[in-house]
Amino acid sequence: MPVLRILHLVGSPYNDFYCELSRNYAQSCLIATANPSLYDFQIAYITPHRQWQFPSSLSLEDIAAAKPMSLLDAIQFITAQNIDLMLPQMFCIPGMTHYRALFDLLKIPYIGNTADLMAITAHKARTKAIVAAAGVKVPFGELLRQGDVPTITPPAVIKPANADNSLGVSLVKEATDYDAALKKAFEYADEVIVEEFIEPGREVRCGIIVKDGELVSLPLEEYLIDPDERPIRSYTDKFKKPIEGNLGLTTKKYIAGWIVDPNDPITQKVQQEVKKCHLALGCRHYSLFDFRIDPKGQPWFLEAGLYCTFDHNSVISYTANAAGIPLNELFMTAINEALGMI
Collect all residues with Cβ–Cβ distance below 8 Å to 234 and sequence separation of at least 6. 166, 169
pLDDT at 162: 86
CATH number of the domain bearing residue 73: 3.40.50.20
**Do residue 167 and residue 246 come from a single domain?**
no
pLDDT at 305: 92
Domain that holds residue 232: 202-339
Q: Is residue 303 part of a domain?
A: yes
Q: Is residue 126 part of a domain?
A: no
pLDDT at 240: 43
**Do residue 218 and residue 325 come from a single domain?**
yes
- Mean pLDDT for back-to-back runs of 10 residues, the chain (342 residues): 94 95 97 97 98 98 98 98 97 96 98 97 96 98 96 95 80 95 94 94 95 96 77 53 44 67 96 98 98 96 94 95 97 97 53
Q: Please, are residues 45 and 52 in contact by the beta-carbon 8 Å criterion?
A: yes
**Do residue 224 and residue 300 come from a single domain?**
yes
**Do residue 209 and residue 167 come from a single domain?**
no
Give the distance between the most distant pair of CA atoms in the chain. Answer: 64
pLDDT at 244: 40
**Do residue 235 and residue 280 come from a single domain?**
yes
Q: Please, are residues 270 and 288 in contact by the beta-carbon 8 Å criterion?
A: no
Domain closes at, from 166, 196, 226 = 196
Q: Is residue 186 part of a domain?
A: yes
pTM given for the model:
0.90
- Number of residues that this document lists for the chain: 342
Tell me how far apart the alpha carbons of residues 81 and 75 are, in angstroms, rounded to a whole number: 10
**Do residue 186 and residue 231 come from a single domain?**
no
CATH number of the domain bearing residue 319: 3.30.470.20
Tell me how far apart the alpha carbons of residues 76 and 53 are, in angstroms, rounded to a whole number: 13
Q: Is residue 132 part of a domain?
A: no
CATH number of the domain bearing residue 160: 3.30.1490.20
pLDDT at 233: 58
> Based on the structure, what is the number of domains in the chain?
3
Q: Please, are residues 55 and 65 in contact by the beta-carbon 8 Å criterion?
A: yes
Domain closes at, from 88, 110, 132 = 110
